[in-house]
Amino acid sequence: MLQHYGQQLINLLAAVMLLLAFAMLAQRRIISLINLFAAQGFTLVLSTALVAWLTGQHHLYGSALLTLALKVVALPWILHRLIRRLNVKWDIETLINIPTTMLIGIVLVILAFNLAQPISLLAGTVTKATLGIALACVLLSFLMMITRSKAVPQVIGFLAMENGLFFAATGAVYGMPMVIEFGIALDVLVGMLILGIFFFRIRERFDSLDTRHLEKLRDH
């Protein structure tokens, strides 16, 4: 009985993940985008903890804590500070308009479910139904990176992609071994710090964080 409701709850959280991925795709304000990213991270924490409780895989509690510390607290905090210090304009221009992006997003979700089908059938985990959603989150974040022209949203897209990957790892195999997750988390954090330095340099050069300034290099 408990198992049944737990499974339903995990599926619900997966749906929330997907919803948040779409919300990020449609969001134009950077501050809201960061909050949505934090919310997605929190959903990931909840679902990881729930899987840990249902299956008795205790190392997943560690993974959930790590996600909580990094993706819900540390990274959003760094990002908020960054945009305050950089005084970035709030409105984001997208390269493709939002409705079209959403339509492409729906196509990607269908694609993801098809791709995940054979893997889901093999998975013995209680979370196998969520695998398609995890893949869809990865693809949607990828789409977001492509369609945004500002540096900060591109980075948030990159981080959201990492969220999707972690979700896929919990869904398919109850997470990677803890050592590896630590390594990945460390890489993400270091990458974030390097990007922080990088943002300042881009800004001091171009007086803006629009990566369309970064389209001069080409083959002659």
Partner 1 sequence: MPAELLLLLASPLAGGLVLALLGHRRYAAELNAAFSALTFAASAALVARVVAEGPFDTLERQFFVDSLNVFLVALTAFVGMTTALFSRPYMRIEREHGRVSEGGMRLFHSMYQLFSFTMLLVLTTNNLGVMWVAMEAATLTTVLLVALYRTHASLEAAWKYFILCGVGIAQALLGTILVYFAAEKILGAGVGALLWTQLDSVKGQLEPSVMAIAFVFLMVGYGTKVGLVPLHNWLPDAHAEGPTPVSAVLSGLLLNVALYALIRFKVLTDGALERPFASGLMMGFGLLSVTVGALFLSRQRDIKRMFAYSSVEHMGLITFAFGLGGPVASFAGLLHMTMHSLTKSAIFFAVGHATQKAGTQVMAEIRGLIRLSPTVGWGLTLGTVAILGLPPFGVFASEFLILTQTIARAPWAAPILLVSLGISFAAIFGKLQPMVFGEPSVSRLPHRPALLPVFAHLLLVLMFGLYMPPYLAGWYRQAALLIG
176 binds partner 1 (CB under 8 A): yes
138 binds partner 1 (CB under 8 A): yes
| Tokens linked to 90 | 């709030």
| Tokens linked to 85 | 């210090």
Measured CA angle at 49 (ends 45, 53), to 5 deg: 170
Cα dihedral 199, 155, 159, 123, rounded to 10, equals -150
User: Stretches 9-17, 66-74, 77-85, 156-164: which one binds partner 1 (CB under 8 A)?
Assistant: 156-164
Cα-based distances in Å from 6 to 16, 25, 51, 53, 120: 15, 29, 8, 9, 18
Cα dihedral 133, 174, 181, 32, rounded to 10, equals 30
Residues 29-68 binding partner 1 (CB under 8 A) are none
Compute the least distance from the CB of residue 116 to partner 1, in Å: 10
Residues 89-118 binding partner 1 (CB under 8 A) are 115, 118
The residues of the shown chain that bind partner 1, judged by CB under 8 A, are: 115, 118-119, 122-124, 138, 142, 145, 151, 154, 158, 161-162, 165, 168-169, 172-174, 176-177, 179-180, 183-184, 186-187, 190-191, 194-195, 197-198, 201-202, 205-206, 211, 213-217, 219-220
